[in-house]
Structure 1
Amino acid sequence: MRHVGVDEASAGQRLDNFLLRLLKGVPKTHVYRLIRGGEVRVNKGRAAADTRLAAGDVVRVPPVRVAAAAPAPAVPAREFALLYEDEHLLAIDKPAGVAVHGGSGVSFGVIEQLRRARPGERFLELVHRLDKETSGILLLAKKRSALVRLQDQFRARDTDKVYAALVRGHWPARQRVIDLPLLRTLDAAGERHVRVVDAAHEQARRAITLVRPLERFGARADAPVACSLLDVTIKTGRTHQIRVHLAHGGHPILGDPKYGDFAWNRAWARGEVLAGVRFARMFLHARRLRFAHPATGQAVDLESPLPAECAALIDTLRGPTSA
């Protein structure tokens, strides 16, 4: 049995990710089994896989047999398009298809690549997360004080996060608020799944999503090309919240590989919906983020334009889409 202290570099990390890094070579399923069985303790108490660790916490780790780890692939240094930077924080325009951090079968992500590209930065941590398939504004802290203050704003819902989403079908013009509780579960491999549940469920977490329909495409709601461009604001930051809420309402996001309409996604990827038009990513883009600067308190309002492939699709849809 060993006891591992959590330093500042690991503060804010989930318990499962902390252990997966610590116990390299241990099968992921075994790590989750140790957590569920209560063999891993945080400050002498049982903890869930998604427990956020704080600096100074002590994690009790039971003895495990660690297999020889395969050499990890080298992390390439990479800078991303900057939207804002000062001595306290930076905001980047994350492309779709890039994870924000390593883990869950991903060797490295944005944070590892940025740290490699900026060896002189003494502190660099993610303030929040975006799904791998989602593009747009991602905020990082360059000081511990900035990280704490920004994460406090996110937890207190004092930030405004607006996403652009293209969904299947014609979104009802009067449906502006989705207030449906969500339940997050992990399968045996540690893969996250989220679904809408009854508010009476003991583990349900309230989730509120605001929807503003912007444009409808396709004259007939049942046509293959029928879709709607939405502005989506989340008032709570639940895992996969937007994707699950929109899909539950019968309007999945185009290209969503987990909660989407897979046949429709495949047809778009193959160019079978509109002749000569292929679209093979998830159309969810974090386009606006407003928050108070962690040092000055001044309002910061960041915007990210639609990626070229998303903007091109919208331009095409604005053409003749009567089919």
Structure 2
Amino acid sequence: MTTHDAPRFISVDEFSIGQRLDNYLIKQLKGVPKSRIYRIIRKGEVRVNKGRKKADYKLVSEDIIRIPPIRTSTEKDIKPSDGLLKLLNSSILYEDKGLLVLNKTHGMAVHGGSGVTIGIIEALKSQYKEPIELVHRLDRGTSGCLILAKKRSVLKSFHEQLVHHQVEKRYIALVKNSWSKKKHTIDAPIYQNSRNSVIDSKGKDSVSHFHPIKNFLMDDESASLVEVVIETGRTHQIRVHAKHAGHPVAQDDKYGDNSFDQLMKKKGLSRLFLHAKSIVFTNPITNEIQKVTAPLPNDLEEFLNKL
């Protein structure tokens, strides 16, 4: 725990504009019970621009918040390696004053947790002076286009675009079994339980469109290279829908087919064959339609050439 012996004065950053005062303090004062936070607001120990504010006050730009002396949880300093920062900087596909698009590497987590000390977002926050937040997520095993926002207004714009299905996300995947070369739409609700994501009527609406590109015959198995466009962004959506359709993604350790994956491993595939190839959106800064593309990684390209 860390005890602050004197009041702290914090200037509201981009991503806190519009946030309620109580929610902001809950995020800032880690380890402090919510009842204590509401009490210091109610007693006027928390001040905004030297004045009292209620818990539901919405923060605005340049607000100065006074936080009284209080004991909080100690957070470990996150220091990404020079190698990680170099890799991230070399993976930038597009950047402007409001957003950043990375070509995420397979195996890299977007954020820390579950045994991961540091993820992409923590590493970038240590490097950028301005705030930066994830617009969406990619599974650890998935490579490709990942968007981050450097302004709250940009983050809000992207969230609105995602809600209204105005962001086009295209993926490339290799799946088990040959698939006829026509568009296959999987419209099946996905429910996330404590262990994984499943098709369940009590889940959220989820829609994926699979476009087979090429079929492969090998030994007693077959496979299809497919392009996937998703209308929604549920956890593990493509992987769950592919399994549901009888075409699990190659080397999927959670939803895959063991015998198929063993054959893929023998042929040299050592990772999940799922890549976020492109993303199309309205750039909140320029207000223009923009497309960013991430080329298929060399290891996946080389594996396809062997089939």
Pick the TM interval, shorter chain. Answer: 0.7 to 0.9
From 75, 80, 103, give the equivalent of 1:75: 80
Deviation at residue 249 of structure 1 after TM alignment: 1.3
Change (3 A) 1:299 1:171: same
Q: Distance in 1 between matches of 2:259 and 2:111?
A: 30
Deviation at residue 182 of structure 1 after TM alignment: 1.1
From 256, 259, 265, give the equivalent of 1:260: 256
2:237 equivalent to 1:241? yes
For residue 146 of structure 1, give the secondary structure of its aligned residue in structure 2: helix
From 153, 156, 166, give the equivalent of 1:158: 166
Q: Distance in 1 between matches of 2:282 and 2:244?
A: 33
From 267, 270, 281, give the equivalent of 2:271: 281
* Deviating 4+ runs (over 3 angstroms): 6-12, 21-24, 66-69, 71-74, 172-175
For residue 269 of structure 2, give the secondary structure of its aligned residue in structure 1: coil
Per-residue displacement from partner, 1:235-260 (whole Å, max 9, x unpaired)? 11111110000011111111111111
Per-residue displacement from partner, 1:101-124 (whole Å, max 9, x unpaired)? 112221111111122233xx3121
**Fraction of identical pairs, as percent:** 36
- Aligned residue in 1 for 2:94: 84
Change (3 A) 1:10 1:251: farther
Q: What's the TM-score once normalised by structure 2's chain length?
A: 0.73
- Aligned residue in 2 for 1:195: 198
- Aligned residue in 2 for 1:211: 210
Per-residue displacement from partner, 1:182-203 (whole Å, max 9, x unpaired)? 111125xxxxx111123xx3xx
Q: Which runs of 5+ in 1 are unaligned?
A: 1-5, 25-38, 44-54, 57-65, 188-192, 318-323
Q: Distance in 1 between matches of 2:148 and 2:120?
A: 10
Larger radius of gyration: 2
- Aligned residue in 2 for 1:130: 138
Aligned length: 256
Q: What's the TM-score once normalised by structure 1's chain length?
A: 0.70
Letter in 1 for 2:173: A
Task: Choose between structure 1 and 2: higher helix proportion.
Answer: 2
For residue 154 of structure 1, give the secondary structure of its aligned residue in structure 2: helix
Per-residue displacement from partner, 1:1-50 (whole Å, max 9, x unpaired)? xxxxx9865799xx9xx98x9359xxxxxxxxxxxxxx99x99xxxxxxx
Contact residue 101 and residue 109 of structure 1 kept, 8 A: yes
Per-residue displacement from partner, 1:265-289 (whole Å, max 9, x unpaired)? 24433x2xx3xxx211100000010
